[in-house]
Amino acid sequence: MNQIQPYVRSLADKYGRERECLLPILQEIVATEHVLSQDAMVEVARELNLSAAEVYGTASFYSFLNTEPYGKYVIRVCKSIVAEMKGKKEIVDKLCDILKIKVGETTPNGKFTLLETNDIGWSDQEPSMLINEKPYTYLTPEKIVQIIAEYQANGKSNNHQQIN
Amino acid sequence: MKKQKINITIDGIKLAVDEQCSILDAAKKVNIHIPTLCHHEDLCVAGNCRICVVEVEGQRALSASCATPVAEGMVIKTNTAKVRKARKDVAALLVAEHNTQCTTCYRSMNCELQEIAAEYNVDNNTYISLVDPNYTIDRSSWSIEKDDSKCIRCQRCVRTCAELQHVNALTVANKGKEMKISTFLDLPLNEVVCTNCGQCINRCPTGALTERRFYDDLWDAIDDPKKHVVMNTAPSVRVALGEMLGFPVGTRVTGKMVTAMKKIGMDSVLDTDFAADLTIIEEGTELLGRLKKILVEGNKEIKLPMLTSCSPGWIKFIEHMYPNHLGHLSTCKSPQQMFGALAKTYYAEKMGIDPADVVSVAIMPCAAKKFEANRPEMNSSGYQDVDAGLTTRELGYMIRQAGVDFLHLEDSDYDSLMGESTGAGAIFGATGGVMEAALRTVYEVVTGREVPFDNLRIMPVRGTDGIKEASIKLENLLDEWKFLEGVEVKVAVAHGLKNARIIMDQVEAGTSPYHFIEVMACPGGCIGGGGQPIPTNEEIRKKRIEAIYAEDEGMPKRKSHENTEVQKLYKEWLGDVNGHKAHELLHTHYTKRNRY
């Protein structure tokens, strides 16, 4: 069989096979594989004795459990009302302009996916966004240019921020 | 321990009800009507539609009466300005996300949303329509159509598929305004584990889930003078059709139904019960054959328990869920398919009609029968054996379209050939009926005596318990069957696929204590089938079951092997029971399918 099967089995061994073990298993798959593939969902269903539809239904509820492949860097711009008031539109427009994609799309080189997301907990510092799991706040179009340039150049953002 | 009673007041009426009773159920006891949509008696509480809100004294927010248990001293008001306004608003919001093409909807006049919207005189312009103008309808399945533009997301279908059937083909996907009823990856219904049972259709409050209709094709065949249209009607249609045409639940309309079909223009109106009797002969013989091979010949390939194979929803379920245990299924086709195979061979030959001109149509209480009719292997007559499977509901519509005054119709008898039946064929429509019919015949074949039950009523296999068990000891047998002397035949009956799963888990584990098991996919058996008139609930199903047994007792013959047309069929045409020709026409094989 494909290699997803032993992998999912190991996750089920780790987290358990009860219904409530579904989410941690799905989360770990997305953390390592960056996507919840059709095969992975089927294997999870098999291991936990659920229907594939139930696994899909659960996954589709959560924005961070993507069933479509995303780029290497997933940009999620906060779409809370505060963000809207603080200029989210300019941020999104700038991102679309630089990346040449629309919200919901992935760049042809597979590097960036641009999404909007519900409140990420930085409403006091809007506009804000996440790139993968890293938050960026008090955004301006100028900052966006700089941040994206760093990702494009290094493949990674400036490390000192992460260390701090 | 004595049950605690809770004292409450509803609209000024004082009453005492059981603990855990919902406000909705308490109100019903004093004949106060509260509208519902997501609530269904057969299913768990959901509380998502909010149409059933009531006012509870001392609480600021309104309570969903279906999801709120009573509490001591609770004072409830179901008819206040606040309640009426809230309900009207809820209805208007639901209408806003509903495709309101009611005039052309199959469920028009039988739609719970339409009824509530009319009751509250909802203004369609209060809220803008949220229906996606680019919606598409999933017509991939032979049995079920899914139109999301009419879905109000009450999730009755999802709960039906999960709780009653343990299939979970349907799920809730996404959230918020994107939320929808979906399959795995939103695949078309014909590509997922759907068993086509249609129980979701019976519980859908709107026209979002319906059966795929074929009556226009049938009208074309009727209008074509070259075609010879042969209809056969399943046992449970005659005890439910009346509900669509002005009769109370549980009325037997057999004679009127036959007359109506003749008036509509069918060339021959025949009885599926004939094929049910035939099924008993084939299946009963198959069971005895299996017992003989195991007990006498020591054949280890033969599988027991043997499982019945009349219910196409059940067949697709086992093909998906237990593909390694298909050898337990009887190889007998369902009565519908036996009938179809004979209609274009035996019937056509005896009547002197070119089988190419025979259009064979089955009127069924079932959605899955449509899929079954279109299985590629169902062509043993050299043609597609059954051209169309229509539901009880579709027949009801046809009778209305034809302008037949059903209420005042005279009775008439089924035509011949293949129109004779016995009470044993009739009870196929209720859970336990196939088992009872089989026992009536098998017991008599091996003992030469009638089954030892008062008036042939095998009570242990009757009723609406999810799984029923019975055993009969075989004693003083005829010489030919001496190898069964002293054997205690153990049987079980399951209805609703939830119960089928329990039975199959035993079979899979090798712990099943039974010789023979009857399974019907739908709760209550065929009388509760996915093609039956809507609504359905336990009370309705019980009344239809009563009518089925009354039909049985009103028949001059009540044992399948006494059906003279069946006897004649073997003698003049088919040859031996379970013989070569019988195998060719009346038996089938099954397909392993993916569970995921």
**A164 confidence band (pLDDT: 50, 70, 90):** very low
Q: Are B363 and B241 in contact (CB under 8 A)?
A: no
Q: Which amino acid is at A122?
A: W
Closest-CA distance, A63 to chain B, in angstroms, reads 9
A3-18 residue pLDDT tens: 899 999 999 999 999 9
Strands B228-233 and B268-271, bridge-based pairing? parallel
Which H or E run contains B364? Answer: strand B358-364
Pick the residue from chain A with its C-alpha nearest to B184.
A53
Are A159 and A82 within one domain? Answer: yes
Output the CATH code of domain B275-335+421-586: 3.40.950.10
Rg for chain A, CA atoms, rounded: 18
Q: List the one residue out of B547, B506, B502, B557 whose CA is nearest residue B525.
A: B547
Are A48 and A111 within one domain? Answer: no
Predicted ipTM of the assembly: 0.91
Q: Are B23 and B62 in contact (CB under 8 A)?
A: no
For A53, the closest of B174, B175, B192 (CB atoms) is: B192
List residues in chain B touching A: CB distance below 8 A: 167-175, 182-185, 192-193, 595-596
Asked if the Cβ–Cβ distance from A51 to B173 is below 8 Å, we say no
Predicted confidence at residue A161, as pLDDT, reads 42
Predicted confidence at residue B554, as pLDDT, reads 96
For A54, the closest of B171, B185, B595 (CB atoms) is: B171
Positions of E strands within B243-332: 268-271, 306-307
pTM of structure: 0.94
Tell me if A20 is assigned to some domain.
yes
Are A90 and A155 within one domain? Answer: yes
Are A88 and A138 within one domain? Answer: yes
Task: Give φ, ψ of B350 to 5 degrees.
Answer: -65, -35
Are A96 and A158 within one domain? Answer: yes
Provide the CATH number for the domain around residue A15: 1.10.10
Interface A-B, measured as beta-carbon pairs within 8 A, has a size of 49
String of DSSP letters for chain A: --THHHHHHHHHHHH-SSGGGHHHHHHHHHHHHSS--HHHHHHHHHHHT--HHHHHHHHHH-TTS-SS---SEEEEEE--HHHHHTTHHHHHHHHHHHHT--TT-B-TTS-EEEEEES--S-GGG-S-EEETTEEE-S--HHHHHHHHHHHHHHSS--HHHHH-
Are A106 and A132 within one domain? Answer: yes
Query: What residues of B act catalytically?
Result: 283, 286, 310, 330, 369, 372, 377, 526
Tell me if A43 is assigned to some domain.
yes
Q: Give me the sheet containing B228-233, strands edge to edge.
A: B268-271, B228-233, B358-364, B388-391
- Looking at chain A, the whole-number percentage of residues with pLDDT higher than 70 is 92
When the pLDDT of each residue in chain B is averaged and rounded to a whole number, the result is 97
Asked if the Cβ–Cβ distance from B185 to A61 is below 8 Å, we say no
Are A117 and A51 within one domain? Answer: no
pLDDT at A163 over 50: no
Tally the domains of chain A.
2
Predicted confidence at residue B2, as pLDDT, reads 65
For residue B489, give Cα distances in angstroms to B444, B469, B493, B508.
Answer: 14, 11, 13, 20
Q: Are B433 and B288 in contact (CB under 8 A)?
A: no
Closest-CA distance, A3 to chain B, in angstroms, reads 17
Tell me if A87 is assigned to some domain.
yes
Are A45 and A125 within one domain? Answer: no
Q: Are A86 and A126 in contact (CB under 8 A)?
A: yes
Q: What is the mean pLDDT of residues A145-154?
A: 90
The three-class DSSP label of residue B214 is coil
Tell me if A34 is assigned to some domain.
yes
Which residues lie closer than 8 Å to B255 by C-beta, 6 or more apart?
A: B410, B411, B412, B413
- Domain range for A9: 4-61
Tell me if A133 is assigned to some domain.
yes
Predicted confidence at residue B123, as pLDDT, reads 85
String of DSSP letters for B482-518: GGGTT-EEEEEEEESHHHHHHHHHHHHHT----SEEE
Tell me if A24 is assigned to some domain.
yes
Q: Does A52 touch chain B (CB under 8 A)?
A: yes
Q: Range(s) for CATH 3.30.70.20 in chain B?
A: 94-211
Please confirm whether the linkage preceding B417 is cis (ω < 30° from 0). yes
Tell me if A47 is assigned to some domain.
yes
Are A44 and A97 within one domain? Answer: no
Are A28 and A90 within one domain? Answer: no
The three-class DSSP label of residue B15 is strand
Alpha-carbon torsion B391, B423, B551, B458, what sign? negative
d(CA B25, CA B315) in angstroms, rounded, equals 37
d(CA B456, CA B553) in angstroms, rounded, equals 9
Are A38 and A11 within one domain? Answer: yes
Provide the CATH number for the domain around residue A142: 3.40.30.10
Please name the residue that has the structure tokens 């329509």.
Answer: B129
Angle between helix A52-61 and A38-48 (nearest 10):
120
Asked if the Cβ–Cβ distance from A52 to B184 is below 8 Å, we say yes
Q: Range(s) for CATH 3.40.950.10 in chain B?
A: 275-335+421-586
A110-134 residue pLDDT tens: 999 999 998 899 999 999 999 998 9
d(CA B93, CA A72) in angstroms, rounded, equals 41
d(CA B26, CA B75) in angstroms, rounded, equals 12
Q: What is the mean pLDDT of residues A42-61?
A: 96
Q: List the one residue out of B282, B260, B582, B231 whose CA is nearest residue B386.
A: B231
Closest-CA distance, B171 to chain A, in angstroms, reads 6
Strands B228-233 and B358-364, bridge-based pairing? parallel
Predicted confidence at residue A158, as pLDDT, reads 43
Asked if the Cβ–Cβ distance from B174 to A60 is below 8 Å, we say yes
Residue ranges of chain B with pLDDT lower than 50?
none
The yes or no reply on domain B5-79 and CATH 3.60.15.10 is no
Residue B563, both tokens: 């059906």
Q: Which CATH architecture has domain B94-211?
A: 2-Layer Sandwich (3.30)
pLDDT at A156 over 90: no
d(CA B3, CA B16) in angstroms, rounded, equals 11
B321-371 residue pLDDT tens: 999 999 999 999 999 999 999 999 999 999 999 999 999 999 999 999 999
Tell me if A67 is assigned to some domain.
no
Mutate to test the interface with B, among A51, A56, A61 (most CBs of B within 10 A): A51
Q: List the one residue out of B310, B343, B345, B354 whose CA is nearest residue B329.
A: B310
The string over B454-463, giving b where at least 16 C-beta atoms fall within 10 Å of a residue's C-beta and e elsewhere, is eebebebbbe
